[in-house]
Amino acid sequence: MLYKLVKPWLFRMDAELAHHLVVDGLGTVGGVSGATSMLSAVWGVKAPEELAVDLFGLRFAHPVGLAAGLDKNAKAVPGFSSIGLSFMEVGTVTPKGQPGNELPRLFRLPSDEALINRMGFNNEGAEAMAARLARLGRRRIPLAINIGKNKTTPNEKAAEDYRECLRRLYPYGDFFVVNISSPNTPDLRLLQHGDELRGLLDAVRDEMRRQAQRTGGTPKPILVKIAPDNSEEQLAYMAEAIRISGMSGIIATNTTIARDGLTHPNAAETGGLSGRPLTKRSTEVIRTLYKLTGGELPIIGSGGIFTAQDAYDKIRAGASLVEVYTAMIYKGPGVVGEIVRGLRELLRKDGFGRITEAVGADFR
């Protein structure tokens, strides 16, 4: 109800201005004593035990987390951790801070329940994020750090950028996500294919091993975020390369460059499309990856999740966890609780005792 009151006001603003207002506001509120308890009272989610997921050596209270892109600089981790999410991604962060692409670069498509962004990895850099996360101390939910390369770094030197992010941020993430699928950094998606992919993932795995040895711990999980705009043949190659390289899982998917079926005038803008138009395609990619890997490589489903049925479709297709992003813009924080409650009902309807039993159920 609260978000319904403020949404018209936010939607009258420039999309990026509204984005910064919400994230900065949530960051400020999260730093006030007692404020996170108030957020939890309004939007917190009490998930039943049957929705809990144990994955990557971590405990997730339920399957629904926050995708990267909303909190690029880890400014609002306590706030986002208090609105019912079971985990969250911050970033994408690059070694050096960079301004991103020229304004305007974020566009709403209300008639399509979608967003187009061409932000270009705008962020304050790994050192600034590390300093911010170091001040937080103990976190309420698992935190993933989404890492990328700087725009000016050529692909042949990209591995060093990913290594540098791990060096600076290793102590602060529960798991890490290698972003090679944004359409808004020139030639980044070329890293998804061929020798470039194998070389990059080998370098990331080596750096993770080095950091674990340096701190006396065990290597933390690494996932790879892929684009939806890949053929089945390309997905097969990526899945095999990710598996051989010892990565912990896949996030499927990032935004799309496709524009099929859109009605809003902003469809003509360049950039990555997220939201409702991506629902079906991202689920298809999850289904293909699950089949290709025999269900042995965990998948986090992302793309066009607005309802419990959207999330459940991805889980039945093979996703162990799911992420929301655009739905938070259109429906507000309450969408998390709505999805969680709906998942419990869908589980009961299908006769499953736990959400983990539904993962990949379409193949059984």
The pLDDT tens digits for 294-317 are 999 999 999 999 999 999 999 999
28 contacts: CB under 8 Å, gap ≥ 6: none
> Higher-confidence residue: 185 or 348?
348
Phi, psi of 66 (to 5 degrees): -110, 130
In the chain, the percentage of residues whose pLDDT exceeds 70 is: 99
Query: What's the pLDDT score for residue 187?
Result: 78
CA distances from 32 to 27, 28, 80, 195, 255 (A): 9, 7, 14, 48, 34
Query: What's the pLDDT score for residue 188?
Result: 76
User: Which residue is listed with tokens 């793309």?
Assistant: 303
Query: Is pLDDT of 194 > 80?
Result: no
Q: Which domains does the chain have, with CATH numbers?
A: 2-363 (3.20.20.70)
Q: Quick: pLDDT tens for 24-42.
A: 999 998 888 788 998 999 8
Query: Is pLDDT of 228 > 80?
Result: yes
Q: Quick: pLDDT tens for 143-158.
A: 999 999 999 999 999 9
What's the whole-number mean pLDDT along residues 176-199?
A: 84
Active-site residue (options: 182, 245, 248, 320): 182
Query: What's the pLDDT score for residue 284?
Result: 98
Could you tell me the pLDDT band of residue 205, with boundaries at 50, 70 and 90?
Answer: very high
Question: Residue 112 is encoded by which pair of tokens?
Answer: 């399509």
Mean of pLDDT over the chain: 95
Could you tell me the pLDDT band of residue 16, with boundaries at 50, 70 and 90?
Answer: very high
Query: Is pLDDT of 48 > 90?
Result: yes
Query: What's the pLDDT score for residue 146?
Result: 98
C-alpha triplet 352, 358, 360: angle, nearest 5°:
150
In the chain, the percentage of residues whose pLDDT exceeds 90 is: 89
Could you tell me the pLDDT band of residue 219, with boundaries at 50, 70 and 90?
Answer: very high
What's the whole-number mean pLDDT along residues 197-214?
A: 95
> Higher-confidence residue: 38 or 110?
110
For residue 115, count other CB atoms closer than 10 A to its CB. 24
Query: Is pLDDT of 132 > 80?
Result: yes
Cβ contact 53:359 at 8 Å: no
Could you tell me the pLDDT band of residue 213, with boundaries at 50, 70 and 90?
Answer: very high
Query: What's the pLDDT score for residue 352?
Result: 97
Query: What's the pLDDT score for residue 1?
Result: 65
Query: Is pLDDT of 186 > 80?
Result: no
Question: Residue 182 is encoded by which pair of tokens?
Answer: 């944004």
- Pairwise CA distance, residues 62 & 288, whole Å: 24
What's the whole-number mean pLDDT along residues 95-113?
A: 98
Question: Residue 205 is encoded by which pair of tokens?
Answer: 């795995």
What's the whole-number mean pLDDT along residues 219-244?
A: 94
pTM higher than 0.85, yes or no?
Answer: yes
351 contacts: CB under 8 Å, gap ≥ 6: none
Question: Residue 54 is encoded by which pair of tokens?
Answer: 């144990």
Question: Is position 182 annotated as part of the catalytic site?
Answer: yes
CA distances from 128 to 131, 135, 140, 172, 306 (A): 5, 11, 21, 12, 32
- Pairwise CA distance, residues 31 & 136, whole Å: 10
For residue 5, count other CB atoms closer than 10 A to its CB. 9
DSSP string, 242-256: HHHTT--EEEE---B
Query: Is pLDDT of 241 > 80?
Result: yes
Cβ contact 292:236 at 8 Å: yes
